[in-house]
């Protein structure tokens, strides 16, 4: 057989996608799975957004769009950054892509050379590491321990930066922990980054509207305007507006970086789907009040899940202030054996046995760079969450 590219060495299908596939295969065999592995809202896309897409399709908005996004969507993004983040980006400082994921891909591929380092506060969303590796870069992990609420300490960050550092990637509210970055932490991080002008900073703010307990979201370029010419502020409509399938992400950043990323995108996908762009305009320019209602609903689910998990001897679960994930610690379960005779040495063993013996799909902490933990997504209805936690309790309590 003809061979494959070296750049794919060590790049695996993401663990959450693998778990979702495994759960789907079991479902197809008739097994009733409780799925807590998927990182997408269970709410439908709002009606007015769907309507805007239908109008666009019927109205003939079906030709190749500009590669960097339709002017009307770029204007809507410009307004969004001003409204929500107090950030002023010119239209040539904005790029539209197929999801925040393609924004991140464009950024890494347009800037990384072999030997470059990408600093990742850990645990991190799986794709940052794989995309950086595809770009030839090396990952440098900075642990954000549970004891510090999975937050990034400025001194740990400082110790990780070398002359080879190309990027720092910030993602708060965080996938997989839900951790948020309070204003003081951001100021401390900004102070460190002011000392290292050779480093780009990507802030992935995709969970910005999913915040709880009156937490006030802030983004780095807003906190420290002197960093704005090195910061790529990444966002998208997937999580806030329940539009994961529409594939619209966007960013604001320095003009030259945006131009290089646009060049990269031009050789991959060109401009994104026109119908989805019309939908995204409706999402960003339409009513915003339901975002708070949804956040209240997620907060109630978070409280339910954290309460149920902490009632299970052997698990320890923090109370995150954002996103829709919890990241319980399972150290007390290691070295034990399941009812079905499986030995639990790692968090991967734990989630596999949980799937096979209790049919609950979750994702192992190893996939996010920090063990022994597992990730639960609570972006699902409360009956499913109760049943999932009941099965997890049964599983953990039966370990011997």
Q: Is 277 in the site for ligand PLP (CB under 6 A)?
A: no
Task: Give the nearest distance from C-beta 314 to ligand PLP in angstroms.
Answer: 28
Give the tokens for residue 157.
């960050």
* 233 vs 238 by CB, closer to ligand PLP: 238
Peptide bond into 174 cis (omega under 30): no
Among 35, 175, 274, 277, binds ligand PLP (CB under 6 A): 175
Task: Give the nearest distance from C-beta 174 to ligand PLP in angstroms.
Answer: 7
Among 106, 111, 238, 321, binds ligand PLP (CB under 6 A): 238
Distance (Å, whole) CA 302 – CA 73: 33
Distance (Å, whole) CA 337 – CA 353: 10
Q: Is 265 in the site for ligand PLP (CB under 6 A)?
A: no
Of 100, 283, 287, 79, nearest to 202 (Cα)?
A: 100
Among 100, 112, 161, 306, binds ligand PLP (CB under 6 A): 100
Question: In degrees rounded to 5, what are phi and psi of residue 325?
Answer: -130, 150
Task: Give the nearest distance from C-beta 70 to ligand PLP in angstroms.
Answer: 17
Q: Between residue 38 and residue 67, which ones bind ligand PLP under the rule CB under 6 A?
A: 39
Peptide bond into 123 cis (omega under 30): yes
Query: Which residue number places its CB atom closest to ligand PLP?
Result: 99
Among 69, 99, 123, 252, binds ligand PLP (CB under 6 A): 99
Q: Is 219 in the site for ligand PLP (CB under 6 A)?
A: no
Q: Is 375 in the site for ligand PLP (CB under 6 A)?
A: no
Q: Angle 38-107-215 (CA atoms, 0-180°, nearest 5)? A: 55
Q: Is 322 in the site for ligand PLP (CB under 6 A)?
A: no
Among 101, 218, 230, 301, binds ligand PLP (CB under 6 A): 101
Among 125, 150, 200, 373, binds ligand PLP (CB under 6 A): 125
Task: Give the nearest distance from C-beta 171 to ligand PLP in angstroms.
Answer: 5
Owner of token pair 């609570």? 378
* 67 vs 244 by CB, closer to ligand PLP: 244
Task: Give the nearest distance from C-beta 246 to ligand PLP in angstroms.
Answer: 9
Give pairs for 8-14: CB < 8 Å, separation 24+: 8/134, 10/133, 11/130, 11/133, 11/134, 12/130, 14/126, 14/127, 14/130, 14/367
Give the binding-site size for ligand PLP (rule: CB under 6 A): 13
Q: Is 171 in the site for ligand PLP (CB under 6 A)?
A: yes
Task: Give the nearest distance from C-beta 266 to ligand PLP in angstroms.
Answer: 19
Q: Between residue 191 and residue 210, which ones bind ligand PLP under the rule CB under 6 A?
A: 204, 206
* 244 vs 319 by CB, closer to ligand PLP: 244
Q: Is 244 in the site for ligand PLP (CB under 6 A)?
A: yes
Query: Could you tell me which stretch among 79-87, 88-96, 99-107, 375-383 binds ligand PLP (CB under 6 A)?
Result: 99-107
3-state secondary structure 141-208: EEECCHHHCCCCCHHHHHHHCCCCEEEEEECCCCCCCCCCCCHHHHHHHHHHHHCCCCCEEEEECCCC
**322 beta partners:** 211
Size of the chain, expressed as the number of residues it contains? 400
* 203 vs 338 by CB, closer to ligand PLP: 203
Of 185, 247, 175, nearest to 208 (Cα)?
A: 175
Distance (Å, whole) CA 308 – CA 354: 17
Residue 63 contacts residue 46 (beta carbons within 8 Å): no
HSE, CB side, 13 Å, CA atoms: give it for residue 80: 31
* 237 vs 354 by CB, closer to ligand PLP: 237
Q: CA Rg, the chain, in Å?
A: 21
Distance (Å, whole) CA 258 – CA 106: 9
Task: Give the nearest distance from C-beta 282 to ligand PLP in angstroms.
Answer: 17
Query: Could you tell me which stretch among 51-59, 98-106, 223-231, 382-390 binds ligand PLP (CB under 6 A)?
Result: 98-106
Which residues of this protein are in contact with ligand PLP, per CB under 6 A? 39, 99-101, 125, 171, 175, 204, 206, 236, 238, 244, 249
């Amino acid at each position: 057989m003809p061979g494959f590219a070296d750049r794919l060495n060590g790049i695996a299908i993401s663990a959450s996608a693998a778990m979702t596939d495994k759960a789907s295969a079991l479902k197809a065999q008739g097994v009733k799975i409780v799925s807590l592995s998927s990182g997408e809202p269970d709410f439908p896309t709002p009606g007015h957004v769907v309507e805007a897409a239908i109008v666009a399709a019927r109205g003939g908005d079906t030709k190749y769009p500009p590669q960097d996004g339709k002017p009307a969507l770029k204007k809507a993004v410009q307004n969004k950054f001003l409204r929500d983040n107090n950030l002023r980006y010119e239209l040539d400082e904005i790029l539209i892509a197929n999801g925040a994921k393609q924004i991140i891909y464009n950024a890494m591929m347009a800037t990384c050379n072999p030997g470059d380092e990408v600093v990742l506060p850990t645990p991190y969303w799986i794709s940052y590491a794989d995309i950086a590796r595809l770009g030839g870069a090396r990952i440098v992990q900075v642990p954000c321990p549970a004891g510090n609420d999975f937050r990034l300490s400025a001194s740990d960050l400082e110790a990780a930066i070398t002359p080879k550092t190309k990027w720092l990637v910030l993602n708060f509210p965080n996938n997989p922990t839900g951790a948020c970055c309070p204003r003081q932490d951001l100021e401390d991080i900004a102070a460190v980054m002011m000392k290292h002008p050779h480093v780009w900073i990507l802030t992935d703010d995709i969970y910005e509207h999913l915040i709880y307990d009156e937490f006030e979201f802030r983004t780095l370029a807003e906190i420290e305007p002197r960093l704005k010419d090195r910061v790529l502020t990444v966002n998208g409509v997937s999580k806030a507006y329940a539009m994961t399938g529409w594939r619209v992400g966007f960013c604001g950043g320095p003009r030259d970086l945006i131009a290089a990323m646009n060049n990269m995108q031009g050789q991959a996908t060109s401009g994104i789907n026109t119908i989805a762009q019309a939908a995204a305009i409706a999402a960003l320019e339409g009513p915003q009040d339901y975002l708070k209602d949804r956040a209240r609903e997620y907060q109630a689910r978070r409280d339910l899940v954290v309460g149920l998990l902490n009632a299970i001897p052997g698990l320890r679960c923090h109370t995150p202030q954002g996103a829709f994930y919890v990241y319980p610690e399972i150290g007390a379960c290691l070295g034990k054996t399941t009812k079905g005779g499986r030995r639990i040495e790692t968090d991967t063993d734990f989630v596999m046995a949980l799937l096979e013996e209790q049919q609950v799909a979750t994702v192992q902490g190893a996939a996010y760079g920090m063990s022994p933990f597992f990730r639960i997504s609570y972006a699902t209805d409360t009956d499913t969450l109760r049943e999932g936690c009941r099965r997890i309790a049964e599983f953990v309590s039966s370990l011997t």
